[in-house]
Amino acid sequence: MAVEHYKMFIDGKWVDSSSGETFDVVNPATEETIAKVPLGTKQDAKSAIHAARKAFDSGVWPEKTPMERASILWKIAEVVEKNSLHLAQLESRNVGKTIKYSRDSDLPFIIDNLRFFSGAIRNMEGKASMNYSGMGLSIIKREPIGVIAAIIPWNYPLYIAMWKIAPALAAGNTLVIKPASYTPLSLLEFAKITEKLLPKGVLNIVTGPGDIIGTELASSANVDMVALTGDISTGKKIMQAASSNIKKVHLELGGKAPMIILPDASLDAVTEGAIVSAFWNTAQDCTASTRVYVHESMHDAFVSMLVKKASKIRIGDPGRESTDMGPLVSARQRDRTEEYVKTGLKEGARLVFGGHRPKGMKKGFYFEPTIFTNVKQNMRICQEEIFGPVLSVLKYRSVDEAVEKANDVIYGLAASVWGTDVTQVMNVASRLKFGEVWINEHGVLVSEMPHGGFKQSGFGKDLSMYALEEYTQVKHIYIDQTGLARKPWYYVVYGDK
């Protein structure tokens, strides 16, 4: 396949890097270069910010009515839908995710997101309008924030970009987006197919290194808000950089999701759930269930059924319809997973499945689905986010112990609890310190409900009306109703009552 040359999208124009340099984008299944993309510079980031600033300040986007913005977002959804197979194939080739996952999960959700926010913005309203002071009327108005910088990870390139693009644009902001360097293609392709629908400067894309482009976006005084989905360490740097002009920060960071399996849970359901939620997207998912807490009474039966099901996962070419698991996104991510497996063994965990690069696969960053038992709470494989297909199984005696251990990590993004006693599952769900808890399921997201973490998994919500609120700011407008030149309370400052 020919190597495609991409440009960045700034101020409605397709441009090269100001340095003229490019970087290679690789297909993780074949290790072949599939595209060359501009290696953006600080200057390019500044140009994109300037374009977004101009577009915002001119009013060309924020002053459109919600109906006008909604109808454009709806048209964008239609164009994406028309091109969805192409986008899914590109995403699969660039990320290594299976075509069935990309086509039947990512793309439909992207389209639904655009449609949801297109409708949601027309339903946005202020919360109060009353005469609180007795002398004047208060109105709450929600306004766009301004220029938003969105910084995107590589695991769901277009899908997570859309979680930011759709609410930010719906609310009337303008955007500069930086995709991850491993996976910039679907976002650039998205801009190509939708470029005619938005006024110039409203959506800008700069490709290049996080520590240059990302840092400029996070620190620029011309950016009003920075939204990152990424690693905790990146989140910390962004918070620091954002302090330069006290810009709003929205952080969706890592996870280490527990699954608590109560003794009355169905063995078949929990093993199905564990396999799916631990290994989807080759486990490069911040909500992936990576720690399974199983009651001692069913531990051995659970492990034996889990291993049997794991052996059915078909690893291979992500473009093939029958493939269940593709490669990891990069050699770095594969090596990191391999290192964690070594660490688990050194720490005394028992490897009961996988743990290696699949035999006979000479090319591609593949790694077997891997299961450890005998995992202890303080082991690194239990505490740290691996972002590779490694599942830890931990045995517990009492429900209190399971809840305490599930909560005992720095993360707080997502968790699940499985069982049939309604009172008990509901009580456990309430005690879990995570932003999202599923009961007898793991990982279902919908446009209408918020997604976002507690603790070091970040703050601010993606999806739902809460995301729309994130991309607006609240203004209190007060209208005097006395009509008096000298209001009754002025005496407290000067003169008498």
Return residues touching ligand NAD (CB under 6 A).
Answer: 151-155, 160, 178, 180-181, 210-211, 214-215, 218, 229-231, 234, 237-238, 252-255, 286, 385, 387, 413, 453, 457
78 carries an active-site annotation: no
Active site residue: 252, 368, 385, 470, which one? 252
Active site residue: 91, 189, 286, 436, which one? 286
Q: How far apart are CB 155 and ligand NAD at their closest, in Å? A: 5
Instruction: State which residue, 181 or 370, has the beta carbon closest to ligand NAD.
Output: 181
338 carries an active-site annotation: no
Q: How far apart are CB 68 and ligand NAD at their closest, in Å? A: 30
Instruction: State which residue, 286 or 303, has the beta carbon closest to ligand NAD.
Output: 286
Q: How far apart are CB 247 and ligand NAD at their closest, in Å? A: 13
Torsion sign across C-alpha atoms 192, 198, 203, 204: positive
Q: How far apart are CB 225 and ligand NAD at their closest, in Å? A: 14
Instruction: State which residue, 103 or 164, has the beta carbon closest to ligand NAD.
Output: 164
Instruction: State which residue, 262 or 286, has the beta carbon closest to ligand NAD.
Output: 286
Q: How far apart are CB 116 and ligand NAD at their closest, in Å? A: 17
Q: How far apart are CB 245 and ligand NAD at their closest, in Å? A: 15
Q: Indicate which residues carry an active-site annotation.
A: 252, 286
